[in-house]
Structure 1
Amino acid sequence: MEADVKLFRVRLANLTKSEDALLADTIVSSLNYTSRPVRLDSIPQAHQDTFQWAFDSRLSDWFLSGSGTFWISGKPGSGKSTFMKFIAKHPRTRELLAGWAGSSDTLAVAAHFFWIAGTPIQKSWQGLLQSLLFDLLRGHPYVVSLVSPNRWAAAKAGRWQTAAEPWSIFELAAALRALATVGEHVSLRMCFFIDGLDEYDSNHAELCKVLCDMAISPYIKICLSSRRWPVFEKSFGDDSQESLDIHELTRNDIRKFVNDQLQAHSRWTAEVSEEVTLEKAELVDRIVAQADGVFLWAFLVTRSLRENLSNGERIRDLNRRFNQLPSDLDQLFQHMLENVNPADHPKMAGILQAAVHALEPLHVDLYWQLEKEFEAHGPTSHGPAGPGPPEGIVMRRDQTICSINEKTKGLLRVVYDRVEFLHRTVKDFVLTKDTGEYLRSKLPADYNGFISIAAAYLGFLKTTRQD
C-alpha cells in the first residue's frame, strides 16, 4: 500500500511538471515573432579562422569574471554584427560564461540584433524585449512564473487565451525589470548580446540608460555593439568600462579573408611566376591597407576582383582595376552603380527607390511587378492576372533575384524571399541627398516610388491569389 502511494505521488509530480512545461511553453511562444530570427540568419558567418583573437583579449576575461557592460564599437562596415554573431554563438564563449555563472545549467544567454532596414519590430524596443525574454525563457522555462506571474496565474487557471495574448510594452518592461532580481530566487546568471544599438529607431539615450541600469544587477551582464556615436561613448566609453574598437583588431582577419577568397579562384593560382607572385602579394597588401579595418569594403573589392578574374583578366589587369576603386565606402557604392548597364539605370533606380521607401523589406515577387511596370511603361495591373503554375512562379522568382543582383551590383540581397539592403551603410548611402538626386535623374519625370509600390502590391495580389 505504501509503495502504491509513493508511485502515485511520483506520477502526480511528473504530471504536474508536464503540465507546467506546457503552460510555460504557451507563454514563451507568445513572445516569438516572425522576423525574430531573420536578422541573425542574414548576418554573414565569420570567415574561417577569423576573430580568434577575441579569446585572448579583454573580452575573454570579461566573459569569465567581468560585470556590467562590454561595448564593441567600430567604423561603419567594420564587421561588428558578424563579430557579435560569432561570439554570441561560439562554444568557447559559453564555456567562459559558464565559469562566471558557476555551471552551464545556471547560465542563460539571450541575444537581439537590431536591424534599421528591417521590419518595424526588428528596430524597436518591443522587438528587443521580446527577443531577450524569448531566448531566456525558452532555455529556462521555470523562470516564467517569476517574470510574468499574472500570465502564469492565468495559465494555471485554464485561461489559455489570456496567457497567450500579445504582450504590451508595459508588461514586457515589467518582465525585464523582474529579471534583475531573478537571481535572488533561483540560481541563474544572464548574459545578453545586443547588436546595433545605433539601429534602434527611437531614443538612444533612454535605451542606454535602461541597459546600464540592467547591468547593475550582479546577475546580469551585457555585451553590446554600435558605431562610436557620442551617445554611446557617454554611456559605455568611460575609462572604468570595458570596450574595444573592432576595426583596430581585424587587419590579419581581413588579410586572411582576402587571401582565401582570391586563392580559391583558379585564375589567381594559374599564374605562378616569381614576378606575378610578388604582384599578387603586393595587391593583397594594398587591399588590406586601404580597407583600414572596414571588412565590408574588403569584401566588395575582393568580390569585384574575382569577377574580373572570371572575365579572363590577368593579375596585372587586377592591379589596374584596383587603382580605379575608391577607398571611401560611399564612393565605392556609387562606383558600383555607375557600372550598371546604362540601359538598366531606370530599373536600377526604381528598385533602390522601392527598397529605401518601403516600410519593411518587400517580397521579391513585388520587384518582378516593378520591373513589369518599367517594361510596359504603365501600371503593374496590366501584368498577368492569374497565379500561374508553381514551376513558373519559381522560375520567375529566380529570374527576379538575378535581375536585382545584376541591376544593383549586389547592394541588395534576398533573405527569406524578402529584398534587403546588403548592409546598413548601403541604406544610409541611398538615403543621402546626392544619391537620391542621382537616382531620380535616372527615372521618368513623373515616377513616384510610393505609387509604384502600391501598384506592385495590387499586381502581386492578382498573380498570387488562389481560386
Structure 2
Amino acid sequence: MALLEKLTPGSGSFDNREKIQNQAVSQTFHSAVNFVNHQYAKGCEHIDESTTVCDNDILKSLAFSQMLDRRCSIRKPHTSTCNWILETDAYKHWLQQSTGIFWLKGKPGAGKSTIMRFLYNRLRGECRRSPEKGIALEFFFCARGGELQRIPLGMLRALLNQLFRQDPTARQCIREQYEEKSSAFGYGERTWTWQPQELEVLLQDAIVTAAQTQPVTIFIDALDEAGAQFLSGLANYINQLTTAAKICISCRHYPTPPYIPGVEVRVENHNSGDIATFVNDRLKIGYLTEADSPDSMIWEDLKADLTKLAAGNFQWTDLIVPLVGTKIAEGESPEEVRRCLQIVPDKLGDTYRRILQNVIRQEDYSQTFLLFQWLCLAQRPLSVTEMRYALAAKDMVKSPHRIRCHETASFVKSDERMKRRVNAVSGGLAEVVQLLDGDKERQIVQFIHPSVNHFLLTEGLNLLSKLAGDGKELLAHQTSATEFTSNDTVQRCHSNLYRCCLNYLLSEETPIRTELGQVPGGSELDVRCKSSPWHEYATRFLFKHAEEAAKYRVEELDQGIWL
C-alpha cells in the first residue's frame, strides 16, 4: 500500500533517491508481468484483437483421464498374426476409398479389438511417414471402464481432442466454440462442460474442414459397448461423418446396430490360421516333454484339436493354452489335460456374465432363460423351426381354453424372424448354423462356443433364474421366482422342458409313441410329425426329460395337470 501511495499523483514530491528506487521497483514489476504474458502466449493463439484463448486449455477441456486407457491396455498382437485382414477384398476396397464404412464384426472373444489396434497403429505409422496419407483418429469403447469410456460423449471429446492436435485447419472452429462458452461464463477457472449435441455439430464441422486438405480415417472399436440406448443414434451419427471421412468400426453381432451400408468382414471366419500359429508357438511340445515321449503324437493331435475347439474364439485360446502348457510340463496325462479344456477361464466367464447382466434386455430374461435351457439340455440339436415351437410351448397353459402352439402370443411365425430373435434373446451367445443331416442340410441353433454351454451349466442358468425372477414368472407353471442352487439347477430345468413337451402334446391331441414306436392308427404320428416338426422331439424325449427331472424332487411334478 505504501508503494501505491507514493506512486499516486499529487501525493507529494520525491527526492532523487526515491525516484530511482521507485523506477527500479516499477521496472521489475512490469518485467515480471510481461514475462508471464509472454510465456502464456507461447501456447496460445489469437482469435481476435481483444481475446486470447490458450490451446492447452481447449485440449484439457476435451480430454479425460481414461481417454487412452482401453487402446493402451490391449496387448500387442502375437507374432505373424492379424496380417490376414490386410489381404481381404473388403479391407482393400475400403482402403482405396476416400469415404465409407468398414465393419469388423465378430463373436465375443474373436479378437476384434486386437485387430483394430493393429490396423490403427499401422495406419498411424504410415501417416507419420507419409503426410499425404492424412490423419488417423480412434476411440475404443469399454463397457468396463469409466463413464466417459462407454458413452458417446467420451467418443466425441476424444476425437475432437485428437483432431485439434493433428489438423491445424480444424482448430479455428473449435477455438471459436470454446471462446464463445468461455466468454459467456467468464474467463478464469472453467465452470462449464461440453454438451453432446454441440460436440456432434462441432466434430462434424471440424472433420469436413480437415478433409478439404487431407484424408481423415477414424477407428471406432466395440461400438456395441456404447449401450443399446445409444446404439441407434450413434450409428446414424457415424454414418453422417462418412460424407467426409473413412471409418472402421468393430462390434459384436449383437446388439445389432441399424443397417448402414459398408463392406464387412467376420473375424471368426478368418482367424483360424492365427489361432493355429499362436497354439504352435506357445505349445512347444519338445520343450515341455521328453524327446522320446510315447505321447508326443498325442500332444500334437491335442494342438490340432485346440485350434478346432477354439471355433474362432481367440480369447479362449489365449487363456486356455497357458493352462494346457503348465499341465503338460507337470506331467499330467493327455486325458487329464483334455478334461481341463472344459474349464471356463475366469476372464471369459466375466465376459459371459456381463452379457447376461448388461446386454440382454430385462424384458427378454424369461425367454432367454428358456432358450438357454433348451440349448444346454436338449437331447439333440434343435432346428430353427423346432425352436419356434419349443419356446412357445411354455405359454400354452396361460390360456383358460385349450389353444395350439401356433396360436400363442409368443409364437414366432417364420424362421427368418426366429434367427433374429435367437441373436437378440441370447445377447449374441447363440447362433444359427448349417448342419449336414444325412443328405440334407438343417439350420440348427447352437452356442457360439462350447465354453458358453459349460458356463451356463455351472453358474449361468442359476444367474439367469434370478434375473428372470426379478418381478417376473420364471416359467408359466411356476408361481414364484425360485432361487436355484448349483446342485439342482439342471434337474429343475429338465422339469421345465418336460412341461413344455407335455403342454404341447396334450394341447395338440397327439398320441404318444409307445416303447416299440407303435401308435393307435398306425401312421398317424408320422403324419403329425410331417405337419409339425416339434411332434417328433416332444414324443421321443418327453420321458427322458421327466426322468432327468425326477433325479431331484421337484414339487411341480407332483401336482396334477389341469387342462
- TM-score by shorter chain over 0.5: yes
Give 2:303's match in structure 1, choosing from 260, 268, 284: 284
Distance in 1 between residues matched to 2:181 and 2:148, nearest whole Å = 26
Distance in 2 between residues matched to 1:440 and 1:38, nearest whole Å = 39
Asked if 1:40 corresponds to 2:71, the answer is: yes
CA positional deviation for 1:229:
3.0
Distance in 2 between residues matched to 1:39 and 1:440, nearest whole Å = 36
Aligned residues: 327
Give 1:24's match in structure 2, choosing from 44, 51, 55: 55
Q: Which has the higher contact order (CA 8 A, sep 6+)?
A: 1
Matches within 5 A, 1:372-383: none
* Aligned residue number for residue 370 of structure 1: none
Distance in 1 between residues matched to 2:269 and 2:160, nearest whole Å = 33
The alpha-carbon distance between structure 1 residues 145 and 42, as it changes in their structure 2 partners (threshold 3 A), is same
Give 1:107's match in structure 2, choosing from 126, 134, 138: 134
| CA shift digits 1:393-422 (9 cap, x unpaired) | xxxxxxxxxxxxxxxxxxxxxxxxxxxxxx
CA positional deviation for 1:208:
1.1
Matches within 5 A, 1:82-101: 82-91=114-123, 94-95=125-126
Distance in 1 between residues matched to 2:100 and 2:341, nearest whole Å = 42
Give 1:260's match in structure 2, choosing from 256, 281, 285: 281
CA positional deviation for 1:105:
5.8
Q: Secondary structure at the match of 1:149?
A: helix
Distance in 2 between residues matched to 1:78 and 1:18, nearest whole Å = 44
Asked if 1:189 corresponds to 2:208, the answer is: no
Matches within 5 A, 1:146-157: 146-152=173-179
Asked if 1:313 corresponds to 2:331, the answer is: yes
Distance in 2 between residues matched to 1:288 and 1:122, nearest whole Å = 33
State the identity as a percent: 22
The alpha-carbon distance between structure 1 residues 87 and 160, as it changes in their structure 2 partners (threshold 3 A), is farther
CA positional deviation for 1:24:
1.9
CA positional deviation for 1:108:
2.0
CA positional deviation for 1:211:
0.9
The alpha-carbon distance between structure 1 residues 252 and 133, as it changes in their structure 2 partners (threshold 3 A), is same
CA positional deviation for 1:190:
1.4
Distance in 2 between residues matched to 1:318 and 1:148, nearest whole Å = 65
The alpha-carbon distance between structure 1 residues 319 and 193, as it changes in their structure 2 partners (threshold 3 A), is farther
Asked if 1:332 corresponds to 2:344, the answer is: yes
The alpha-carbon distance between structure 1 residues 112 and 230, as it changes in their structure 2 partners (threshold 3 A), is closer
Distance in 1 between residues matched to 2:348 and 2:249, nearest whole Å = 32
Aligned letter for 2:281?
D
CA positional deviation for 1:205:
1.4
What RMSD over aligned residues (CA atoms) do the two structures have, in Å?
4.0
Q: Secondary structure at the match of 2:81?
A: coil
Q: Secondary structure at the match of 1:235?
A: coil
* Aligned residue number for residue 250 of structure 2: 225
Distance in 2 between residues matched to 1:72 and 1:301, nearest whole Å = 25
Matches within 5 A, 1:36-435: 36-57=67-88, 58-65=90-97, 67-91=99-123, 94-95=125-126, 104=131, 107-152=134-179, 160-161=187-188, 165-183=192-210, 186-201=212-227, 202-215=229-242, 217=243, 219-229=244-254, 231-232=256-257, 234-236=258-260, 241-263=262-284, 267-268=287-288, 270-273=289-292, 275-310=294-329, 312-314=330-332, 317-326=333-342, 332-333=344-345, 432=460, 434-435=462-463
Distance in 1 between residues matched to 2:464 and 2:326, nearest whole Å = 28
Structure 1 unaligned blocks of 5 or more: 1-13, 338-347, 358-424, 443-467
CA positional deviation for 1:272:
2.1
Partners of 2:135 and 2:215 within 8 A in 1: yes
CA positional deviation for 1:150:
2.5
Q: Secondary structure at the match of 2:264?
A: strand
Aligned letter for 2:290?
E
Distance in 2 between residues matched to 1:195 and 1:71, nearest whole Å = 10
CA positional deviation for 1:60:
3.6
Partners of 2:204 and 2:241 within 8 A in 1: yes
Distance in 1 between residues matched to 2:338 and 2:119, nearest whole Å = 33
CA positional deviation for 1:133:
1.2
Distance in 2 between residues matched to 1:157 and 1:168, nearest whole Å = 15
Partners of 2:169 and 2:210 within 8 A in 1: no
Distance in 1 between residues matched to 2:177 and 2:347, nearest whole Å = 57
Partners of 1:44 and 1:82 within 8 A in 2: yes
Distance in 2 between residues matched to 1:164 and 1:104, nearest whole Å = 38
| CA shift digits 1:72-113 (9 cap, x unpaired) | 00111101111111111125x653x789xxx52672211111
Aligned letter for 1:305?
V
Distance in 1 between residues matched to 2:132 and 2:44, nearest whole Å = 22
Structure (1/2) with the larger helix percentage = 1
* Aligned residue number for residue 405 of structure 1: none
Partners of 1:192 and 1:221 within 8 A in 2: yes
Distance in 2 between residues matched to 1:94 and 1:160, nearest whole Å = 39
Partners of 2:63 and 2:158 within 8 A in 1: yes
Partners of 1:152 and 1:163 within 8 A in 2: no
Q: Secondary structure at the match of 1:255?
A: helix
CA positional deviation for 1:441:
5.8
Larger radius of gyration: 2
CA positional deviation for 1:173:
1.6
Distance in 2 between residues matched to 1:228 and 1:291, nearest whole Å = 18
Q: Secondary structure at the match of 1:109?
A: strand
Partners of 1:23 and 1:156 within 8 A in 2: no
Partners of 1:24 and 1:142 within 8 A in 2: no
Partners of 1:88 and 1:193 within 8 A in 2: yes
Distance in 2 between residues matched to 1:437 and 1:334, nearest whole Å = 21
Distance in 2 between residues matched to 1:431 and 1:223, nearest whole Å = 36
Q: Secondary structure at the match of 2:44?
A: helix
CA positional deviation for 1:44:
2.4
